[in-house]
Each structure stands twice: as structure tokens, then as C-alpha cells.
Structure 1
């Protein structure tokens, strides 16, 4: 689809360049410069060009339907004929446009360019979906369309346009997955959802899997009130039903019930608590002025060569002035010790991969910007719809940024894809270390 669009854009650009070179546009440019011709608005050049293009196309469709052109002598030999036209107002990206739709005497003409019952051109639908994915509410979109292109659409119409993607969302949410993911990251953002007449705070959980090539994929989005074992058992079972047979490491922020759910679905998987989440949790009740000092002291714990060395470092922090001042910081590490220590058994390159869930957190940062304009969502499905559209929008934005920098020298400014396309940093070295640690489980997929 992208290649087709690029080809069309090149063709249009070449046509404009040919017209400019021939001087055919000089008189038009002169009228635009003098103000005699407006580009947009009612009666503007762009809307009129769209109107003329549509009407010409509709007449061509009618000619194909009847088998003869207007004024053709063969018209008398056919049982059907043209029967004038009727006016139809279309909402477009350039504003409302009145077009004349031809009709035939038999009433059998069905236009494809402007389908019966349609009141919008497809480009306007794409614009509305893009605005919605960017975080604008339906009321914001209504106001934007009226003030920019003079088109007024009802709340229900805009809602129906965005709901049209639900089928694609469902297909994406139920798609088949790979048999094996070496690493899976789990995290969540909080959203307000209307539920049985009450507005409740729910967690929208997102799973990102790293495949054997190191490419990250969003595996699914789940909205739930709580994060108990039964919910995570459902998520793991769904991933397994969609094809995931094994996961080596699940990196998360110590979600309640997750280890039990993982063990029930993939008995050999390792649940690793995100080190960054532990650092944040340890600093939760630490005075702002002491946070850097506490984080620096805790670095000796999570950067230790092995568990024994890490335990010595934690004991040293516990007996220090900071440790005595903030016992809650010590308790965070002691309570998570069993789920943290597997991290210490891995070599450096692999530690970098599972050190944090930043892979999802960077995505969540973008998603929070999209959801912050909504005080509440009407349903769980509406949450998934917006997040899916936002993820697609973020993906396209990053892809365009990288395309602009393709072929340039020097450091890249455009970030890699947040999901589904970005290759995990130092993945080759990490994969080699995973192969040494789990040869029986990883070799069949190499």
C-alpha cells in the first residue's frame, strides 16, 4: 500500500512539474497572487477541482454502465438512457462540496466513486481516525472540522467512523503469535472507564514480546479492574491459545499473581522483577534531596557480580545512615529479593535487556499523552480501540522520521520504533548468552 501511494504521489508531482514547465499554470498563479482566486473555502479552487474531478468520474461511470457516451448516436438503440442528475453534498477534507450525481431511467446505476448513502469521501474518514488516534476527543474533532474546513459532523457520525476500526482491532487482538519469545515485557497504564453506572479506575495492560530476531511486537492489550492471579492466568492462557508455547524470561514490575500464572502456563519460564521499578519503589517515601544518594547506594546491589555480593551490599545499605533513615527502601528490596536475584546470574549484555521494562514504558509515555484528554471511557473496548489506534499512529510517526534520515550521516535523531520494528539493543550478544543459559529450549528455534 505504501509503495502504491508513493507511486501515485510521484505521478501527481511529475504532472504538476510538467504543467509548470509548460506555463499552463502561470495565469492561475497570477490570479491566486492577486486574490481573484481563493484556494480553499466555499467556491475555492481546491473544492472546485475536487467537484469537477468527481463529476467527471461519475459521468465516466455512467458511460461505462450504459455503454455509450453523451450525444452518441447509439443511445437510441439501448433500452436505458441518462435521466439528468441530482445534487448531493459531500463532506471532504477541503470542506462540504455539492456534486451532481447522474442517474439513468432504469434506476440501475450504482456509482462507485460516490456510493449511495455515502456522505463523506474516504480521505475525511482517514483524517478523523488520525485525529482520534492523536488524542483528540470527539467534541475536539467536531470543533476542528468546523473551524478548519467548514464541515459539521454529528457526534454519532464521528463515533461510527472511529468504531469502524473495531473489526481490525479484534483481528489484531486475536492474531496468531510465534511459538517462542525469549523475552516478554509486561506493564500497565491506568484509565477511567464507565462501568455499570460508575466510573472505575482500570488498568490497561500491554505485553511486548521480543522474537528470535530481537524485534519487538505488541502481543495484546487487556483492560481489567484488578491484577490478581485469575486475571493473569487468563492473559497467559490467551497468549498460549494464540500460539505461544514457551517464554524464557518475563520482565515486569512485580505484578500480583503473575508468577503463579506464568508457572501454570509455561512452567519453565523465569519471572524477573524490573530493576528500575524496584529503584522507584524504594524511593517512593524518600525525601527528594536524598533520592540521588539512595539510588547511588542501591546501585551496588543491582550491579553486583552475584547474589552473595548483592546481599553484602544490601546489608551495608541497611546499616548505613540512609538505610536507617529509610527502612521502607530496604523493605522493598528484601520483599522482592526472590524475584530480583535471577537477574544477577546473567552476564552483562543479557542484564541490559531485562534490566527494565522501558521498552513498554516509553510506549506508555506516548499512550498517556493520548488518554489524558479523556476524563473517562464509555467501555473497555473503547480503551483498546484508542490504544491500538495510538500505537499505529506512533509507529507511523517513527517510521516517517527514520525515512527522512535514511542516507544521512552522523548520529540519528529519530527514535526507533517503540514496538513492532525496533530491534533490541545488543540483541545478538544477549541471544548468544541466552543460548548458553538455555541451550535445550532455545536451540530448536535458531
Structure 2
């Protein structure tokens, strides 16, 4: 009675990922382009309250990660909260979570690709972005083990670059710890908006859960991998934010167009700026690779239930990956990256992801003690935090995100009416 449901009709993916690979994929999703880009808009919103915003984002992310890990251990299938919402709350809530994830993260994929292009070759950003999408889709198509291997390399390079930035800033004569003080410019609304923007960078741990069908011993591996990846990411983000603030201050950080490159220049080491640019390009590639993995797996799960074309549920016999879903996601992202500037979609993506995790927390709250329910306060705090941060985002992001979710709900209603 307490056993999780199994699906025998759909071909299963291959379980190839251990704890180390799962943690690395989570790190590749979180320690990516967000840390190079999100600090400036968050500093503009929160001012000297930036670190408070980071702390709020981390608390909400912890609640979401704990709820997701417990659910993923019980439902180790591709799809993440799409599956959890369907099984715990009903088909509509699972569908809405999947819809928010696929639409929001598809836009986020294009934004990551354009970030990569802008750092690697600003004059040809769109062409480089589209080419990067094609190349990384090919890596994903070759199998999740190859994707995990490449992610290891990317994470190692990005961590080395970030460590260099932190050491350069904190040991420079320009570093002033007084710039970390919280002043009167920090407001509750600004801190919450900063937390919502920074949450975008934390949300990569979902990739571990959406790969649940490809993880060995998921009941043990996923609950260990998610908090490990999140904890490492929080330490890295806090160190980078402190380093940037000590040399630029809240006002300088908020005005920066390339905040970490500006930080090393302010630290008196302009020769490191090209290294930072290279690190940002590599980080964007890591984020993009992990995003394509996650979106294609959620697309697979929704296609299995015919909320998306059923042909996308096919699993490649040799490579053991959802090859049609991967190719379609890659094609859509490549077109967006080549033709559209979607860097402004960060807020929209944050709204969709926060809605996704609100449903995850609501699902986790329905677990019983025998099913591995987390402490009751965790999903309750996570759900409340997601709602508050979602509506603290800029108004344009809230309106766009709500409109897309409403369109998805309308499509669901039409489909139900046509099949009954």
C-alpha cells in the first residue's frame, strides 16, 4: 500500500548516476551563469541588504530542496514535481508544475546561451549562443554519463575561477569590511525582491530530482545529493558576494554590468578580467547543459501522459535517453538563442520556478511519516516562501509569469473538455 507506483508501459531510462555524479550535476546547475549575472540586479534591489536577500533565498531553497529530495526518493521517475504533484495532489497540479518548469526553463536555457555568447564573443553573441546549444544538445544526446563527465570539468573550472576572484578581492588593499554593513537603504521589499532574483541561481538542485530515473539507488542517493549540492553552492555564493561587496560596495555592485569582472578590476588586478570572462562562458555552458537535461526529462514525463505530443516519450535504445524530447528542446532553444534577446526573462523564469516549488512543497506536506515526510515546518515554510518571493519579483515578471501559467491552465481545461 505504501509502495510508490511503477510504470510498466513506458520504456525506462538507465540508472547510471551515483552520488558523486548527482552532486556534480546539481552543482553544474547552480554554480553557473547566475553567480556572474544575478548579483548586480539583486544588489540594485536590496542595496546593503544583499546578504540578507541571499540568506532568505537560501532558506527557501533549503526547504524546497528537502521537500524535493524526500519526494524524489519515493517517486524516482523523470519529471520531478510534475510527477510529485500528479501523484500527491492530482493530475492538474502536476501538469501545472510541469508546464511552469518547461516554459520557464526553456526561456532560461536561451538566456544562459546568450550569456555564454555575450562573454565569449560579444559581437557574434547570437551565433555563438545557437552553436553552443547545438553542441551541448549533442552531448546530452550521447548519454547522461557523458553529460555528467563534461559537467565535472565545467564545475572544476568555474570553482577555480570563483576561488581566484574571492582571493583577489579579499586580499586587496581596496577591500573594506565596512561595506558589508546593513544600512537604512535596505528595505523589506528590496530584500525579498533580491531573494527572488537570487533564487533563480539556486534552483538547479531540481535537476537532480528530474534525473531520478537515471540515478542508482535513488532512495538513498537523492536525499544525500540534494543537500550536499545546495550546501556547497551556498558557501560559494556567500564567499563571492562578500568578496564583491568588500571591493565594490552595494552601490558599485548594483551599477556593474559585469560585476565579477569589475570586482577584480577594483581589487587592482585588471589582468584577471579575461579569466573571469572565460569562467563566465564556461559557467554558462554548464548551466545550459544541465538545463537541457532537466527540461528534456520533464518533457518526457509530460509526453508519457500525453500532455505533450506522445512521440516525445521515446527513449533511445542505445543511449538510453529521451532523444526526441532532447532534440525538440534543443531546437526550440537554439532558435530562441539565435533570434531573440531573452536575458530579461530571468524574472519570468524565477516566477515559474517558484510556482513549481510551491507545488513541490504542497506535495511533500501530504507525505506520511512512513513515506519519509520531512518535518512539517519545512514544506509549510517552503510553500509560504515561494509564494512571497514570487510576488515580490518585479511587476512585469509577475504579470508575464501569471499569464503563462493561466494559458497553461486554459490549455489543460480545453484538453479535458475534448476528451470527456
Which is higher, the Rg of structure 1 or of structure 2? Answer: 1
Name the one with the larger helix percent.
Answer: 2
Q: TM-score, normalised by structure 1?
A: 0.19
Choose between structure 1 and 2 for higher RCO, CA contacts under 8 A separated by at least 6 residues.
2
Q: TM-score, normalised by structure 2?
A: 0.19
